[in-house]
Amino acid sequence: MTGTTDRKLFLGGRLKRLRRDMALTQTAMAADLGVSPSYLNHIERNQRPVSAQLLLRLADTYDVDLRALAQQAGPAGEAELAEILADPVFGGLAVPRHEILQLVDDAPGAADALVRLYRAFADRRTREQAEAGQGGVIGAESPADWVRDHIQARNNHFPELDTLGEALHNALFPDDPAIRGEGFEVRARARLIERHNLPVRIMPAEVMVEWTRRFDPHRRRLLISETLGPASRAFAIAYQLALVEHDAELTAATEAANAPNAATRNLLKVALTNTLAAAILMPYAAFQRTAEETGYDLARLQARFGVSFEQAAHRLTTLSRPAARGVPVFLMRVDQAGNISKRYASGAFPFSRFGGACPRWRLHSAFRTPGRIVTQIIETPDGTRWFTLARTVDRQGHDGFGEGQDLAIGLGCELKHAHRLTYARGLDLASPEVTPIGPACRLCHRHPCAERAAPPVDRPLTVDDWSKSVSPYPFGEA
């Protein structure tokens, strides 16, 4: 804690958010931490710094990740607000970075309110543009957006579900030599029948039509499409096992999130059930230990736990247990048209929230080398460097048959963690070859860039008829 004592930490807004997330009054939290309510009030108002002793009490009392508390400011972060304030509707304001940081740190509730208000505005603008035949630029908050925000606010880590998953995995595989060699699907199907009278049936694709997994409540059976490969079939069975064994806990966690409507609540419960299913298939302690021992070798993780590349990659983004942390990893999944269908992170996340990924990132070029991992070191506009890898994967429902490979998964971590990954071995991490990237083109100020697809919305174009830039949209200063 030497570094902490050398400088004053004013974390009032973040401490207030933590307290409200746990539904505690100032008096209750002060009692838990052994301080007076007035002292805690001063800290929350940034009139007193947070001492090293108080940080340690926070960690011991509430199992708080001190690094996350010191580095993150909640769902509405600096990058997201900077992206919003780059919209032309805020033209002329030129809000400086220190004011954005102050808003995020000191008034996280107000920052979230600004984000929510902007989404409502963007929703209306998108609808009006669609009605006028112009097409929308920025999408509104959907149930999927809300669920993603809720999950990311937890750094994609749900310790209570990890605990349930490990216990259920251990129940499936007790220390019995007679069953040690049996695979997950065999053990899980047996438990579904023995404990819940719920058999699993593999059904023809023409019977399942659009469904890959479907529970039949009348005949009490789980129907799985024949189009699913072994890893997806195992996950479907783990999902059903999670539901029948821990529906009460999943429902309680869903209700506690206070989702705004029924559709969002249903989607959140599905997401939490998926999280529990992953924890059953890949129990935290064993998965994290294997990841460290193998240098985060995804092929080894796939083989050890009988999962797909995407399942193993996604699980890597959840390794935030205080006593056994993994490398802070982010994940993004895109299709060949550039649509982003998944993005999660156990730590920082460097890409645009409202737009797509930079075309200079090799996530997109992975489609040219199906099934092969491509690596790249990138640098975001804030100067942070990231080690990344990308590979194509099959879309669910095509992983057993057909050509597939129509999605790409991108993984990454800050360059300072890259030495722990087998994929970075042999690279010069001290003086690497670096590719500068940006957020979505309409927000990116990197110039010149031959890959630019749109001009930045807050910069004037400098196009003329007697010269041509490598960029189709040269621009000047604001």
Token digits of residue 205: 């694709």
Radius of gyration in angstroms for the set of CA atoms belonging to the chain, rounded to a whole number: 24
At residue 77, what is the residue type?
Answer: G
Torsion sign across C-alpha atoms 377, 380, 384, 388: negative
Token digits of residue 378: 């990138």
Helix (H, G, I), strand (E, B) or coil at 235: helix
* pLDDT tens figures, 68-93: 665 544 445 666 787 777 776 776 67
Please give the model's pTM, rounded to 2 decimal places.
0.74
Token digits of residue 249: 């806990």
Q: Which residues on neighbouring strands pair with residue 222, listed in sequence order?
A: 200, 215
* Regions of the chain where pLDDT drops below 70: 1-8, 65-79, 88, 91-92, 123, 125-141, 176-181, 348-357, 396-405, 478
Contact by Cβ (8 Å): 458, 88:
yes
Backbone angles phi and psi of 143, in degrees to 5 = -55, -40
Question: Which residues, at least 6 apart from 11, have a Cβ–Cβ distance to it below 8 Å?
Answer: 43, 50, 69, 70, 105
| Cβ burial, residue 115 (10 Å; 0-12/13-18/19+) | buried
Beta-sheet strand order (sheet of 213-216): 200-203, 221-225, 213-216
Backbone angles phi and psi of 266, in degrees to 5 = -65, -40
Contact by Cβ (8 Å): 143, 263:
yes
Q: Which residues on neighbouring strands pair with residue 320, listed in sequence order?
A: 325
Domain 159-281 fold is: Arc Repressor Mutant, subunit A (1.10.10)
Nearest to 100 by CA among 121, 70, 69, 79: 79
Q: What is the pLDDT of residue 169?
A: 95
Q: What is the pLDDT of residue 72?
A: 47
Q: What is the pLDDT of residue 179?
A: 57
* pLDDT tens figures, 144-182: 888 988 888 888 899 999 999 999 999 999 875 555 567
Pairwise CA distance, residues 325 & 321, whole Å:
5
Cα angle at 390 between 384 and 392, to 5 degrees?
155
Alpha helices in 45-183 (DSSP H): 52-62, 66-71, 78-85, 97-106, 108-131, 143-153, 159-172
Report domain extents, the chain.
2-71, 159-281, 321-430, 440-478
Token digits of residue 233: 């079939």
Nearest to 346 by CA among 377, 376, 325, 374: 325
Q: Give the DSSP letter string of 244-306.
A: HHHHHHHHHHHHHTT-SSHHHHHHHHHHHHHHHHHHHHS-HHHHHHHHHHTTS-HHHHHHHHT
H or E stretch including 376?
Answer: strand 374-379
Contact by Cβ (8 Å): 414, 427:
no
CA distance from start to end of the chain? 43
CATH architecture type of domain 2-71: Orthogonal Bundle (1.10)
CATH class belonging to 321-430: alpha beta
Token digits of residue 318: 């959840």
